[in-house]
Amino acid sequence: MEFRPMRRKRQELPKEECEKILHNATAGVLSVLGDGGYPYGVPISYVYAKGKLYFHSAVEGHKIDAIVKEDKCSFTVIDQDEIHPDEYTTYFRSVIAFSRIRRLENMDDLLCGLRLLGGKYNPGNHAGLQHEIDHLSGKEAIELVRAH
């Protein structure tokens, strides 16, 4: 798909500046096509790494249902929003990313995303995703044991 060019070219940020904003901000609004065809925008924490956005989410709910139905989305981050009433304007900086979204199913991808999110929101706590097992037990049907 061809995206529209920005109407006010003078205000367009270079890609590098957009990526810097995505790296530094901590929250944005994920917009998907929700119930009944209504747009559904949800504020969400995220991390941007290697040209990809990662979001943490529950495994079910309105957002996930919408993603399953339609994988196209947009994600908006506001970096600056200063009201200047004497000039009847706002000094703003923002980024909108258009993409397709998917749930991560592969364990390696999931752990990568979790590590990236953990590194951004809980830096220095590498142990948070790496806990040793304190206790391990197993059980087997007695009938299966007798069959061996």
The model's pLDDT over 53-66, given as tens digits with 9 standing for 90+, comes to 999 888 899 999 99
Query: Residue 142, exposed/middle/buried by CB under 10 A (0-12, 13-18, 19+)?
Result: exposed
6: which residues sit within 8 A by CB, 6+ positions away? 12
Query: Are the CB atoms for 21 and 93 separated by under 8 Å?
Result: yes
Type of residue at 49: A
pLDDT tens per residue, range 60-96: 999 999 999 999 999 999 998 888 999 998 888 999 9
Q: Mean pLDDT check: name the lowest of 4-8, 27-31, 126-130, 138-142.
A: 126-130
Give the chain's domains with CATH numbers: 9-124 (2.30.110.10)
What pairing do the DSSP bridges indicate for beta strands 52-55 and 39-49? Answer: antiparallel
- How far is the C-alpha of 95 from the C-alpha of 82, rounded, in Å? 16
Q: DSSP labels for 31-58?
A: EEE-GGG-EEEEEEEEEEETTEEEE---
Q: What is the pTM of this model?
A: 0.78
